[in-house]
Amino acid sequence: MATTSRLRIVPLLAFCLAAGSALPASAGVHGFRAAGPLRQAGHAGATFRNGQGGLTHVRGTRVAGPSGTAAHGAYTSVNPDGSVRHQGGTRVNGANGGGFSGSNSYTRDADGSAQGSFQQQAHTAAGGSYSRSGGYDRDADGSWNASRQTSASGARGSYNGSTTASNGTATHQTTITDASGDTYTGQTSYTRGQGVTHSGSCTDAQGNAIACP
């Protein structure tokens, strides 16, 4: 039967706290730890007043068992002027050798401008890999731009894609290569008021043009 007990809050939260800041004495904290045969889980969190007069919440969770381990930590602050800051991260390690890691961040300033980004990476025990990242910016006047990149590879081939968008326009580019070396390259674009255009072509492993399937 699993057993449960209160955690020591500070050690588990330390990796969540920006710049090594300490928890104020008035922080509201919570946490637990559960353990059973070959399995463990723990969570801790705290909420406190920050130096800007707003609220900051930090939290961390970790689990471990026969299938692997997983951990997540996050930090969010909300201030009286409307500004927000968030950071988070996740890591997973499988017992078979696969793994995943990711992080994200978000900032909103008092004038309404905002920025955000994320990163993800993964690999399989068989040698496959995956990565994805992106970000966006929004000005106080509402104008914005965003981008995203994705890549994956494995025994059956590879994929690379990217997307950019800004104020009524978007472009997506794709390159796909199969296990034999045949490659498809394409681009799709959208412009508000004009619609969508697309172009694409295929080549073999030697670079010769071939008909697309």
Q: What residue spans of 15-106 are helical by DSSP H?
A: none
Please give the single-letter amino acid code of residue 110.
A
Neighbours of 66 (CB within 10 A): 8
DSSP-assigned letter for residue 51: T
Q: Is residue 192 in some structural domain?
A: no
Q: Does residue 55 lie in a domain region?
A: yes
Q: Does some domain include residue 172?
A: no
Q: How many domains would you assign to the chain?
A: 1
Does residue 119 form part of some domain? yes
Say whether 120 sits in a helix, a strand or coil: strand
Query: In this structure, are residues 57 and 70 in contact, taking their beta carbons and an 8 Å threshold?
Result: no
Provide the residue-wise pLDDT of the chain in tens; the chain has 213 residues.
Answer: 333 333 343 444 444 444 334 555 566 888 888 998 889 999 999 999 998 899 999 999 999 999 999 999 999 999 999 999 999 999 999 999 999 999 999 999 999 999 999 999 999 999 999 999 999 999 999 999 999 999 999 999 999 999 999 999 999 999 999 999 999 999 999 999 999 999 999 999 999 999 998
Q: Token pair 């997973």 is at which residue?
A: 92
Burial 125-143, CB ≥16 within 10 A → b, else e: eeeeebebbbbbebeeeee
Are 123 and 129 in contact, with CB atoms under 8 Å apart?
yes
Domain with 16 in it: 3-155
- Is 18 part of a structural domain of the chain? yes
Other beta carbons within 10 angstroms of residue 12's beta carbon come to 22
Contact 69, 61 (CB under 8 A): no
78 in a structural domain = yes
Look at residue 36 and tell me if it is in a domain.
Answer: yes
Tell me if 180 is assigned to some domain: no
Rounded Cα distance between 167 and 144, Å, is: 6
